Amino acid sequence: MIPYGRQQVTQADIDVVSAVLAGDWLTTGPYVTAFEEQVAEYVGARYAVAFSSATAALHGAAHAAGLQAGDVVYTSPLTFIASANCARYVGAQPALIDIDPQTLNIDVSRVDESVQALIPVHYAGLPVELDKLPTRPRVIIEDASHALGAHTPDGPVGNCARSDMCVFSFHPVKPLTTGEGGMVTTNDSKLAQALRAFRSHGIDRTPTDDPWYYDAAELGYNYRLTDIQAALGSSQLSRLDSFIERRNEIATTYRDALADLPITLPPAAPEGYTHGYHLFAIHVANRGDVFRGLRDRGIGVQVHYVPVHHHGVSRDLVMPEGGYPASDAAYDGLISLPIFPGLSEIDQAGVIAAVRASL
């Protein structure tokens, strides 16, 4: 079975992780600090704070932003449920803004002055065009779980040129992996301080006359990344540009090979942008039959995503009249084809042949 996504772990990755296992630190230590600094430098942000997962990072960002009961936090319907649930974690109310059918990202033209908190999702690795927002919400937390290595005219995604914080995922199918893991980047020192406290039980270690003393100053969680994971992430980060380049090559091959078929190809990056291509999601008219046909032929396709408002946990959402038609129309036909740096030309040719046969 050719999966839709897969990590690429080399001997160099294994060697650096082995060195950590043979050392003094296994939990949060010098490798985590180094990895944070490397990611911050790569994206051009002042601070980066590592978390145990992107979901934990979203929770931390929502907390650091001061979101709470009474706040309404808007995100895309076409995303993993964590993009909305992070609002619930801090007592806020999640809400949705329908997508632009051309980009599959949140329709920024729908963001008006009533939207005070926004979590735009860079779906499939295509950056949201935040420069087109009609108004700037009080809080913007980018969900860039798909988009490490992508670029906009403002620079790398994660530099927070038009946001308060940006969240990345290091799940094995993402641009780089730490096994599980996440990161928040920001240019605000107070947000960075709040994030670091939140991921470690809310502990304040401000020095006192008693060197052993610490204060659990607020409610926090154990959302720390380990040095084992950070070492893997640092090693992978050194190859991130080549990973993104290879993903774009695979996407180009798909576009050329599938252009004559009765399907809708995913949106390409506009001028001045670089697509991260975490996903290559085509749209077909008879999704169920095509999906089963591809699986029967050994292609591990997936659907991204069951929209947020389709889940039982979302029964508290206030739905607008007419619902979210663009998101529902996209969901009805989306299929994510295999795309990852280790996908060989032979395997990709097999995927293309299977798509043709399944159609």
Q: Break the chain into its structural domains and give their ranges.
A: 2-237, 240-358
Closest by Cα among 319, 337, 300 to 98: 319
CB contact set of 76 (below 8 Å; sequence gap of 6+): 83, 96, 97, 99, 105, 106, 119, 120, 121, 123, 308, 327
At 55, give phi and psi (nearest 5°).
Answer: -60, -45
On the question of a common fold for 2-237 and 240-358, the answer reads: no
Query: Does the pLDDT of residue 172 top 90, yes or no?
Result: yes
- pLDDT for 110-154, tens place per residue? 999 999 999 999 999 999 999 999 999 999 999 999 999 999 999
CATH topology of domain 240-358: Aspartate Aminotransferase, domain 1 (3.90.1150)
Q: What is the CATH number of domain 2-237?
A: 3.40.640.10
List of E strands, the chain:
2-3, 47-51, 72-75, 93-96, 117-119, 139-143, 151-152, 155-156, 165-169, 182-186, 203-204, 215-216, 280-283, 299-300, 334-337
C-alpha 253, offset from chain centre: 24
What pTM value is reported for the model?
0.97
Helices (H) and strands (E) in the chain, counts: 10, 15
Query: Which position has the token pair 């296992």?
Result: 21
Query: Does the pLDDT of residue 4 top 90, yes or no?
Result: yes
pLDDT category at 60 given cuts 50, 70, 90 is very high
The 8-class DSSP code of residue 55 comes to H
| Type of residue found at 339 | I
Instruction: Please give the Cα distance from 229 to 225 (Å, whole number).
Output: 7
pLDDT category at 202 given cuts 50, 70, 90 is confident
